[in-house]
A = this chain, B = another copy of it.
């Protein structure tokens, strides 16, 4: 396996070891909180998650029949701006909101500040998977047979954020444990792995949540009153579901 990492979405230079249309799997990471939310929502029974960059686009995609012409029910509007819920949307961007009672059997339209931009950068890949610490093991199982993997960290407003690079490092670490010298890494991947080892020599949900509280993304959440979400997004390996979108079926993410 060849694995390359973008520490932020804008890192998409011609220097990459793999041409973007030759990537088997892109793994998109927005730990706090878009890809954690997507993981939880999918496990709670959402049938499909459609990501949009703009709020206006999300509203029109949520209308009955907009995504699926045969559907007469509106989709549920989900997302955030500056970490906060959006006026008129049914859901914000906290994993706590996405219970089976509220989302089972529903299609979700999700727009967030950083995560949906990362999905766009990843969209040339054969398939896109949404990764969080919650579904880490499931993601590793799902990518293990790929020849070329592109890990895309969403970052925070164009800057690197530590929690996304930690998960990138954890993914790389687990791939290396399984594949040994059959795993080829670019420099950004090696840097992410060093960061993961430095921050989490013995990973646990409690130590992860503590580390999140010191990152740019974590501090942003604490500032607007969502500190409890740090622990929710640190519950490592608790969800065996990966949201996946393929080039053959490019509308939304479904459970794998």
Contacts and interface: CB of A to CB of B under 8 A. Distances in A.
Interface string A165-200: 100000000000000000000111011101101110
B159 A15 contact: yes
Contacts of A192: 191
Interface stretch (A3-11, A33-41, A43-51, A222-230): A3-11
Count class of interface residues, chain A: 20 to 34
Nearest to A220: B15
B10 A10 contact: yes
A156 B16 CA distance: 9
Copies of this chain in its oligomeric complex: 2
A12 interface: yes
Interface string A189-213: 0111011011100000000000000
A92 interface: no
Given A11-B158, A14-B158, A155-B15, A199 B188 contact: no
Interface of A: 7-8, 10-16, 155-162, 165, 186-188, 190-192, 194-195, 197-199, 215-216
Given A7-B160, A162-B191, A165-B187, 7 more contacts: A8-B11, A11-B159, A15-B216, A16-B158, A159-B187, A161-B187, A186-B216
18 contacts: A8-B8, A8-B10, A10-B10, A10-B11, A11-B158, A13-B155, A13-B156, A13-B157, A15-B155, A15-B156, A16-B159, A159-B187, A160-B187, A161-B187, A162-B191, A165-B187, A191-B192, A194-B195
